[in-house]
Amino acid sequence: MQAKKWEKTDIRYLKGVGPKKAEILQKLDINTVEDLLYYLPRRYEDRSNFTLVKDLKVGEHHAVRGKVLTLGNHATRKGIRVFQIAVGDKTGIIYCVWFNQPFLRKLFKVGQELILYGKVEKYKKLQINHPEYEFVTENNSLNMGRIVPVYSLTQDITQRYIRFLTHEAIARFLSSAKGALPTRIMARAHLVDFCFAIQNIHFPASFANLDRAYRRLVFEEFFILQLALALKKKSAKTKTPGIRHNLDAHLMEAFKKLFSFELTNSQLKAINEIQIDMANPKPMNRLLEGDVGSGKTAIAIYALLLSFKNGYQAALMAPTEILARQHYMTISELLMPLGVNVRLLVSGLKPEKKLEIKKEIDSGEVDIVIGTHALIWENVEFKKLGLIVIDEQHKFGVSQRQLLQKKGWNPDVLLMTATPIPRTLALTVYGDLDISVIKELPGGRCPITTYCIEEENRQKVYQFIKEEIEAGHQAYIVYPRIWSSKNTRASESKLKAATTMYNKLQEEIFPDLKVGLIHGRMDAKEKEAVMKKLKSNKINILVSTTVIEVGIDIPNASVMVIENAERFGLSQLHQMRGRIGRGDYPSYCILMGNPRTESAKRRFFTMSETQDGFKVAAEDLELRGPGEFFGTRQHGGLPELRFGNILKDFDIMEQARAEAFRLVEEDQDLVDPRNSFVKEVLKRRFSGKFDLINVG
């Protein structure tokens, strides 16, 4: 039987699977034998060693072997029917209880020898409620007397059933199956055989074997993913023609004079990496990551200016109109005096204005266009697009970024994010990109002090805001929702709303101050008017939702109060905090809330302990887990990991990555016969799921 056959064999061809069971198994994404064999247990129970009754510990799970001494049904005062048996060994007796299952009476007989497994409780006597059980007469048990797999289940699928199916699949198909890893890579990485791994991941002979099996399967999964990324990166570097930008030795000096501050060493290093990429005839594909306020925009401006100097157009796409307008104001102010024609294209413009700008872009009159999704949805055509900059890139899907790229002839691409990416994630999710990291903040920045404040101190918070405003500064107060609603769940009934609190703050709390309001449902003109007033200090306190998470740069703001802060994620809290601390005086972030869960408490603690975005990101990854982080590229179809965990398996991932990139260096097109099966697996694994690579 060829490998293809076991991979594609429908689950219905296994003994015990009919049409109804097959339909239920589909809910677990089990459609083929391969799906079943790759459906790994979520945990294991050691039922290989039996515990004597005298050694049982209350509150722990144990496997017990003994004989049925007594059995019988009875009813409680509330009418609950109880079936109970007494099981004894040479050291004592334990009772097993099932509720509302009187039919079990027919299965048991006094004197039968059986094995029990479950959590030991004590209600005057030792007892296990609803234990798993098996009669000793059964041979080759999958459920007792061994390390037993425990799977995630769905309706009408039991542990016994899925263990039976998996055992059947292994018995029938595994001997003819093979893994994707070439033999030489397995040898270098000291990995066990594929068949051994599948057998022992489901039915391990020992925990040592389980560890070896797990490492083998995780390595293979990471290897295939990293191989896809390596091929994508190599192809971009060697096969795809791009634009060669000519470097001007005087451009950097002229660029530095645009700013009133000195660029940091991190900024200069990133600029150098970017200009080397842009001078290369192959397309740049670089991710620029740095903390909030680290000066990524200045670096992007250099790239935009370099593209302009070479006679190309450039586009900067941002996820929100507020951020796009912020970039437009900053960039046009700096570059228009140099003769650069900078235009803004967002959905909020009047139709005739959008048409005018699109004509100018098409004719080549516009040198740099800054916009939102309008750049890809508004039928925008470029005359000579040479550079694309995408800010807050994680807010866009891969397909959206590709739509913009297709508007030019393999333009250079610079992705930017203010959410620092832990190295574990960067190598896994962004392994096909070159990465520049800014780790320094501009000089002169004062630290932000973060406080966690409870409701009883609210008046002190309001008084503190007044004192900061009297000192000439401004403040933000952020709420988790726009409007109050009567039709809310009990858990949300205490959430404060921006619109409601805006009126209360203006009329009752700060009647002598100027309070403004901004939220995502306001139209573009209203938002723009509010932002102009805020920038000119005509608003003392801005009441907002998370719409200010990005795109607000008001150096005069020194206070941010985040209401119901336990409702926000860690990265979101850090992003909002980044709206302050942009001046040369101390700033303060105040988290108002009641963190009841351990996760919320950890978020509050992290915010109060560090301002370092890289530490915040690492903690956020720990709290949320890798699954949510993979959402950053799901629009492009990055497949989910079935086995590996990039946090606890990072050492395996690094080794697999090194082998994958080594293989691509040795055999870029995977034409070596020794790599034929890994090529086949790669194509099958990523077919229709991952549009970033093309393996012939």
- Longest Cα separation, the chain: 97
Task: Give residue 490's pLDDT.
Answer: 46
pLDDT at residue 302 above 60?
yes
| Cβ contact 398:633 at 8 Å | yes
| Cβ contact 176:3 at 8 Å | yes
CA 617 to chain centre: 11
Q: What is the overall mean pLDDT for the chain? A: 86
By percentage, how much of the chain surpasses pLDDT 90? Answer: 43
- Long-range own/partner contacts, residues 234-241 (CB < 8 A, 24 or more apart): 234/664, 234/665, 234/668, 235/693, 235/694, 236/282, 236/283, 236/285, 236/432, 237/282, 238/282, 238/668, 240/282, 240/283, 240/410, 241/281, 241/282, 241/410
Task: Give residue 328's pLDDT.
Answer: 93
Task: Give residue 560's pLDDT.
Answer: 94
Provide the token pair at 146.
Answer: 């061994």
Distance, CA of 511 to CA of 582 (rounded, Å)? 27
| Cβ contact 372:319 at 8 Å | yes
Distance, CA of 587 to CA of 582 (rounded, Å)? 9
Task: Give residue 103's pLDDT.
Answer: 85
Distance, CA of 334 to CA of 301 (rounded, Å)? 9
pLDDT at residue 641 above 80?
no
pLDDT digits (tens, 9 = 90+) for 395-428: 777 778 788 888 888 899 999 988 777 776 777 7
Helices (DSSP H) in 280-382: which residue ranges? 296-309, 321-335, 351-363, 374-377
| Cβ contact 159:118 at 8 Å | no
- Helix or strand holding residue 62 (H, E): strand 61-75
Indicate the length of the chain as a whole number. Answer: 696
Question: What's the average model confidence in pLDDT over 345-372?
Answer: 92
Question: What's the average model confidence in pLDDT over 442-459?
Answer: 86
Question: What's the average model confidence in pLDDT over 314-342?
Answer: 92
pLDDT at residue 362 above 70?
yes
Going by C-alpha positions, the residue among 250, 247, 185 that lies closest to residue 222 is 185
pLDDT at residue 139 above 70?
no
Question: What's the average model confidence in pLDDT over 486-494?
Answer: 54
Going by C-alpha positions, the residue among 434, 405, 423 that lies closest to residue 314 is 405
Going by C-alpha positions, the residue among 449, 509, 478 that lies closest to residue 592 is 478
- Lowest average pLDDT, out of 14-28, 91-105, 138-152, goes to 138-152
Task: Give residue 191's pLDDT.
Answer: 96
0.85 cut: is pTM over it? no
pLDDT at residue 486 above 80?
no
pLDDT at residue 369 above 80?
yes
Q: How many CB atoms lie within 10 A of CB 651?
A: 9
pLDDT digits (tens, 9 = 90+) for 42-61: 889 888 888 899 999 999 99
Instruction: Count Cα neighbours of 577 within 13 Å in the Cβ-side half-sphere.
Output: 29
Going by C-alpha positions, the residue among 344, 373, 11 that lies closest to residue 161 is 11
pLDDT digits (tens, 9 = 90+) for 199-255: 999 999 999 999 999 999 999 999 998 898 888 888 777 767 889 999 988 898 889
Question: What's the average model confidence in pLDDT over 111-131?
Answer: 89
Task: Give residue 502's pLDDT.
Answer: 92
- Kindly list the distances between the CA atom of residue 239 and the CA atoms of 232, 373, 465, in Å, as whole numbers in the listed order: 10, 29, 58
Q: Residue 227 carries which side chain, given as an amino acid letter?
A: L
If phi > 0 it is left, if psi is from -120 to 50 it is alpha, else beta; for residue 492 that is: alpha
Task: Give residue 2's pLDDT.
Answer: 42
| Cβ contact 433:232 at 8 Å | no
Task: Give residue 689's pLDDT.
Answer: 47
pLDDT digits (tens, 9 = 90+) for 495-543: 788 999 999 999 999 999 999 999 888 887 888 889 889 989 999 999 9
Which one is predicted more confidently, 652 or 632? Answer: 652
Q: How does residue 691 score in pLDDT terms, banded at 50, 70 and 90?
A: very low
Going by C-alpha positions, the residue among 638, 437, 471, 482 that lies closest to residue 556 is 471
pLDDT at residue 279 above 70?
yes
Distance, CA of 142 to CA of 151 (rounded, Å)? 13
| Cβ contact 429:638 at 8 Å | yes
